[in-house]
Chain A
């Protein structure tokens, strides 16, 4: 402790104290040493402008990080957030959720203008695409939001440090500042919120030009004639959707035999059909054995997953969306001794603390669904626990949404999971074809499916394919949080005519009979 300090102020102090008390030459007891080191620390704090003391330092300014930082500040803790991107919001705001939803909407508008407007008696001349303008709108949304978070930081007095953070030791983060130089941050607690990055596939080099990740797919300069998506997860399907609507011929190659494996099977089948109606092609149970980007386009050599005859598929752009992996590079975790599991995720307890006291982790870099809203929940709970309050995340009620059109949303258990658990259950379904509002807007693909325990009618899972599914699902999330029965939803008044009535009718169908179908 005191003995280890070697900086100038410390020695000055020692001399001063020595001089002051002639008899006390060297510390003769631990107490003296302790009181000296306390003085030393006080001097160091005042003397050094390069160090800052916080209650919490959050490394990473994405949805997990910035929410945790703001919440911590609101709870009265001195908080600093370190982000190296140069903008806050993480993957989500910059190269994920926000830009993709912007493009999904813009491409949807184009598609509607071309195909749906005439049905509604709205005549437009020729509908054209202006990619730069589309990208400009997307960028405007992104910049507005990222600046907005900076504003929130100012409002809540969160210190924003722009740079790459590394854990030097528990309680100390050293930052390589973007503007140059380094800064040392001292904190009682550190929260790692560094998120995730694109999983690269062996043998495939992403150049973000012809072979892109979602990042590149969000800013292609022109509509690719042929687009191949490797990986039929929701990211690949959403991006495939965007360019498909804008005119690309999209083929999705997937190793497994299903798209989005976490979805309820019946919902998934329905969903796939809607995508196929939009001319998306699927090659399931297929693996990519070779990628040849030497020509002007890309040539993919495909083979059935189980092995067999090969085939070649050509494309202008290939999107690699085979998953994401936790990002913990450059944090110095090995040196500090923080444990990571075999998937690269930080192991944490129910307080979000890693094996090193004082170091916590949230979001995509810890186990759990890799979703922005789950990261936000983690962030709030972690910080509330640090503040001595009760924080908890109910992972059973985290909804999942796919923002294609029609949207897909689900919360709770799938029918397969319920069946596997051995609980006897009942299912209620209601197609949007029978929903008044869906018919009036001529957007009636999809259905609502509710699964409930047979005995108690307690809702176990709700799955929706259809317009606004991402909004409709929240009634179900609330119901699950309250342990509601399908009858509770059915006996709750729903406005008419709304798409939500489909949820009400599906609930009716679960424990009784639907009226409108």
Chain B
């Protein structure tokens, strides 16, 4: 009997209970018109789990953790489901699906072990041993561990627990100290971000790339970063990216911006203009506002929802401007500021970052002329905005093509990363053409 490892009285295998999220601060109930996944199906991050309907809108609920949908607790068509009510159970391992079904559906404990083979049991015990405890680390840390964490400055989130149930024990911290993987909560990263957000009135969105002033120490991998890392890899590997670049001349936009500020006291950033221009361009070229679905192929977007990339301590977040085509320039400006603030405070509601039909990432505050961003699946496009740089262009004489003169302009490079399955290069070309045109002459198009 020496192989028996440890004692636990776990009633069920590790599982995650999905509850109905609040789609808005005032939402108390919702309906679940349909489930996009069936019981027993594998679910991956980003996939749609179900639709949630309120009197205001219908939202897709995305899967946040990989696994298998073990049990649907609230069937399709259910109405008046309370916020916070359990709606589904997701398990990590396929073999746990049956167990969860039994536990939740029966209240009689007369089941025998006839259903489970020895091998299944061994697997359960092994996986329970290997899985980290679902209880937050804080509650499973002994005083020696807490002391060592404080003294060493190590972030407990990076530690793998070797204690029962994955708890972090003193030995784990000692080993971490020894291997030199020191990782303090980066105060430096915070400083740099704060500096940038106050300095540049031009833009209120910041990129994921870590500023160069952060030291060589490994950044801690919090859960969010792990998810982001996974999604980025999936996107890069799974979507055939095609890149189209175009230069546009910003002078007219800059002039309009200044005019709005001086004459009307309206403060908008260049990025707000870019967003508005993108929205208008998408209205003209709706094929760029689509996405690729495994089963249905090209699916046109039903609304124009712009995801804005905001870099936060926790990682890259993409709050969404919903129905941006219905927003004015100043609406866009205030909404972006609000969402970016919420993102940095970690207060984004699910509906505020789940979904979106088109993304914009702006590195304009850095010395980055041009870059290629990675698409956020299931979207089809992401626009990478470089900085506005002073340049010299040749302006042709409209009456005499052989004549012309150099003019000083502020140019900006836009790079569209597109899913080539959805966006043919002529669609991409048309989109950038329209977009560039709008930015070159905002008065004509935006007012």
| A395 touching B109, Cβ below 8 Å | no
Distance (whole angstroms) from the CB of B101 to the closest CB of chain A: 12
What residues of chain B lie closer than 8 Å to A388, measured between beta carbons?
A: 102, 109, 111-113, 115-116
Stretch at the interface among B162-170, B281-289, B361-369: B162-170
Asked if B8 and A390 make an inter-chain contact with CB atoms under 8 angstroms apart, the answer reads yes
Stretch from B140-148, B227-235, B295-303 forming part of the interface with A? B140-148
Which residues in A have their C-beta under 8 angstroms from that of B162?
Answer: 483
- Contact of A458 with B143 in the complex, beta carbons under 8 Å: no
> Who on chain A is nearest to B174 by CB?
A456
Task: Mark out the residues of chain A between 172 and 190 whose CB falls within 8 Å of any chain B CB in the assembled complex.
Answer: 188-189
A399 CB → nearest B CB, Å: 13
Report yes or no: B144 in contact with A395, Cβ–Cβ below 8 A: no
A491/B170 in contact, CB under 8 A: no
Q: Does A367 contact B (CB under 8 A)?
A: yes
Q: Knowing A76-B108, A388-B115, A457-B171, say if A350 contacts B142 (CB, 8 Å).
A: no
Given contacts A188-B112, A349-B118, A351-B121, contact A392 B4 (CB under 8 A): yes
Q: A455-496: which have CB < 8 Å to B?
A: 455-458, 481-485, 487-488, 490-492
> B113–A458 contact, CB under 8 A?
no
Residues of A within 8 A of B164 (CB): 481-483
A482 pairs with B118, CB closer than 8 A: no
B106-149 to A contact mask, C-beta < 8 Å, 1/0: 00111111011010010011001000000000000011110100
Name the contact of B113 in the complex, choosing from A75, A351, A368, A393 (C-beta under 8 A): A351
0/1 per residue, B1-21, Cβ < 8 Å to A?
Answer: 111111111110000000000
The total of chain A residues at the interface (CB under 8 A) is 40
Q: State which residues 340-357 of A face B: CB under 8 Å.
A: 349-351
Interface residue from A390, A394, A453, A490 paired with B171 (Cβ < 8 Å): A453
Min distance, Cβ A213 to any Cβ of chain B, angstroms: 28
CB-based contact B167/A397 at 8 Å: no
Chain A residue contacts of B11, Cβ below 8 A: 389-390
Does A211 make an interface contact (CB < 8 A)? no
Cβ contact within 8 Å between A488 and B142: yes
A360-383 residues with Cβ-Cβ distance < 8 A to B are: 367-368, 377
Complex: chain B residue closest to A188, CB-CB: B112
Contact B8 A386 (CB under 8 A): no
Chain A residues whose C-beta falls within 8 Å of the C-beta of B143 in the assembled complex: 487-488, 491-492
**Shortest Cβ distance from residue B164 to the other chain A in the assembled complex, whole angstroms:** 5
The answer on a CB contact under 8 Å between B7 and A485 is no
A455 interface neighbour in B10, B113, B115, B171, Cβ under 8 Å: B171
Could you tell me the distance between the alpha carbons of A183 and B345 in the complex, rounded to whole angstroms?
72
Q: Cβ of A51 < 8 Å from any Cβ of B?
A: no
CA distance A285 to B65 in the complex (A): 65
B residues 330-356 near A (Cβ < 8 Å) are: none
Identify the closest chain B residue to A350 (Cβ). B4
- Expressed in whole angstroms, the minimum distance between the Cβ of A376 and any Cβ of chain B is 13
CA distance A76 to B110 in the complex (A): 6
Query: A443 contacts which chain B residues (CB < 8 A)?
Result: none
With an 8 A cutoff between CB atoms, is A17 at the interface?
no
What is the bound-complex CA distance between A219 and B2, given in angstroms? 38
Across-interface contacts of B169 in A (CB, < 8 A): 456, 458, 483-485
**Any chain B CB within 8 A of the CB of A55?**
yes
Contact B110 A55 (CB under 8 A): yes
In the complex formed, the residue of A with least CB distance to B2 is A395
Main DSSP-derived SS at the B contact region:
loop
Q: How far is the CB of B150 from chain A (nearest CB, A)?
A: 12
A387 interfacial by beta-carbon distance below 8 Å: yes
* Inter-subunit contact B4/A394 (CB<8 Å): yes
- Given the complex of chains A and B, what is the CA–CA distance between A485 and B110 in angstroms? 40
Complexed CA–CA distance, A457 and B115 (Å): 42
On chain A, the residues within 8 Å of B3 by CB distance are 350
Complex contacts, A55 vs chain B, CB 8 Å: 110
Q: Do the beta carbons of A350 and B144 come within 8 Å of each other? A: no
Q: Are B170 and A487 in contact (CB under 8 A)?
A: yes
> Which chain A positions have C-beta within 8 A of B171?
453, 455-458, 485
Roughly how many angstroms separate A351 CA and B212 CA in the complex, as a whole number? 58
A189 to B113, CA, bound (A): 11
What's the least CB distance linking B294 to chain A, in Å?
37
B110 contacts A77, C-beta separation under 8 Å: yes
Query: In the assembly, what is the distance between CA of A390 and CA of B6, in Å?
Result: 11
* Cross-chain contact of A189 among B9, B112, B121 (Cβ < 8 A): B112
**Is B4 within 8 A of A76, CB to CB?**
no
Distance in angstroms from A363 CB to nearest chain B CB is: 13
Counting CB contacts under 8 A, is A385 at the interface? yes
Which residue of B is nearest A74, CB measured? Answer: B109
Which of B109, B121, B167 has a CB less than 8 Å from the CB of A387? B109
Residues of A within 8 A of B2 (CB): 395
Contacts of A188 in B (CB 8 A): 112
B7 with A481: CB separation less than 8 A: yes
B1 contacts A485, C-beta separation under 8 Å: no
Task: Type the 1/0 row for A433-458, where 1 means its CB is closer than 8 Å to any CB of B.
Answer: 00000000000000000000101111
Check A456/B9 contact, CB under 8 A, given A368-B1, A487-B144, A491-B144.
Answer: no
Which chain B residue has the least Cβ–Cβ distance from A458? B171
Q: Can you report 21 residue pairs joining A to B where beta carbons are below 8 Å apart?
A: A75-B109, A77-B110, A189-B112, A351-B113, A387-B111, A388-B102, A388-B113, A388-B115, A391-B9, A393-B4, A394-B4, A395-B2, A395-B4, A453-B171, A456-B174, A456-B175, A457-B170, A457-B171, A483-B163, A488-B142, A491-B143
Q: A386-B113, A395-B4, A458-B169 given. 17 additional CB < 8 A pairs?
A: A75-B109, A350-B1, A350-B121, A387-B109, A387-B110, A387-B112, A388-B109, A390-B125, A392-B7, A393-B1, A457-B174, A458-B171, A484-B169, A488-B144, A488-B145, A491-B142, A491-B147
- Could you list which residues of chain B lie within 8 angstroms of chain A, going by C-beta atoms? 1-11, 102, 108-113, 115-116, 118, 121, 124-125, 128, 142-145, 147, 162-164, 167, 169-171, 174-175
